[in-house]
Amino acid sequence: MTEIISRSEQKRRLKRIEDTAAELAELTNKDLVKFPGSEEIKKEIVAIRELKGGSRKRQIKHLAKVMRQEPLEPVYDFLSERKGSHLKEENVLREAERLRDTIINEAVDDQNKCRMQHIDWEPNWESPIIDDAVQRYQGFDEDAVRKVAYQYIKTRNKVHYRELFRITKAALDLEEIRKRTV
């Protein structure tokens, strides 16, 4: 199942990359020496320093476009380590929200299919999203996710919605810790 990302979400993601580019534009020469990005990104950062106003904004957008062609994980690690940036944590939060919402949407779709076929909807529905999450994140508790998602769909109680977020966020946090120790 391919996930459809709305235009609004695409714009929000691009805006977050632009925010990262704006933070990179403030790096000093000393920071640039240790910066893990490519030479092209470093050249763009140096070019931005001299600009002001609208041309600076355009150049930051261009830097964001260049950055989208490369993995951003080392950049976020560098910024959080050197500058105390919270961009990486924000990205983890957004990914946990996205995963939670995708699971909920998939569950609602499956419940609607079952309702149309006049069969009872069970918590063990076939879920490519959950299967993918189990493969990607070691700490992902499939049984707990299915149980909480099922409870939320049945009751629409926000407690279950928040609990699903906590579970997904914990799995993502464990994955981040695992990446740092490897």
pLDDT tens across 48-94, in order? 988 888 999 999 999 999 999 988 888 888 888 877 767 778 888 98
Helix locations, the chain, DSSP H: 7-24, 29-34, 39-49, 53-67, 73-82, 87-116, 128-136, 142-155, 158-181
Q: What pTM, to 2 d.p., does this model score?
A: 0.71
Q: Which pLDDT band, with edges at 50, 70 and 90, does 160 fall under? A: very high
Say whether both 31 and 44 belong to one domain.
Answer: yes
Q: Which pLDDT band, with edges at 50, 70 and 90, does 181 fall under? A: confident
Say whether both 32 and 69 belong to one domain.
Answer: yes
Say whether both 138 and 76 belong to one domain.
Answer: no
Q: Which amino acid is at 47?
A: A
Dihedral of the alpha carbons of 119, 124, 130, 134, in degrees to the nearest 10: -160
Asked if pLDDT for residue 182 goes beyond 80, the answer is: no
Residue 132 lies in a domain: yes
pLDDT digits (tens, 9 = 90+) for 113-139: 999 999 998 888 888 999 999 998 888
Say whether both 97 and 152 belong to one domain.
Answer: yes
Domain end position, chosen among 65, 84, 103: 84
Residue 51 phi, psi dihedral angles, 5° rounding = -95, 160
Dihedral of the alpha carbons of 121, 122, 127, 133, in degrees to the nearest 10: 140
- Which residue carries 């106003």 as its tokens? 53
Residue 168 lies in a domain: yes
Total domains present in the chain: 2
**In the 3-class helix/strand/coil scheme, how is 90-129 assigned residue by residue?**
HHHHHHHHHHHHHHHHHHHHHHHHHHHCCCCCCCCCCCHH
Residue 39 lies in a domain: yes
| pLDDT at residue 2, rounded to an integer | 54
| pLDDT at residue 3, rounded to an integer | 62
pLDDT digits (tens, 9 = 90+) for 5-40: 778 888 988 898 998 899 888 888 888 888 888 889
Residue 2 lies in a domain: no
Domain end position, chosen among 64, 84, 104: 84
Say whether both 118 and 77 belong to one domain.
Answer: no
Q: Which of 142-148's residues contact partners 24+ apart within 8 Å by CB, and which partners?
A: 145/103, 147/123
Asked if pLDDT for residue 1 goes beyond 50, the answer is: no
Say whether both 134 and 96 belong to one domain.
Answer: yes
User: Helix 53-67 vs helix 7-24: angle between axes, to the nearest 10 degrees?
Assistant: 110
Residue 25 lies in a domain: yes
Residue 152 lies in a domain: yes
Say whether both 79 and 103 belong to one domain.
Answer: no
CA distance to 102, 136, 142, per residue, from 129 (Å): 7, 10, 11
Alpha carbon distance, N-terminus to C-terminus of the chain: 31
Q: In which domain, by residue range, is 115 found? A: 89-181
Domain end position, chosen among 67, 84, 101: 84
Classify burial at 66, counting beta carbons within 10 Å of its beta carbon; exposed 0-12, middle 13-18, buried 19 or more: middle
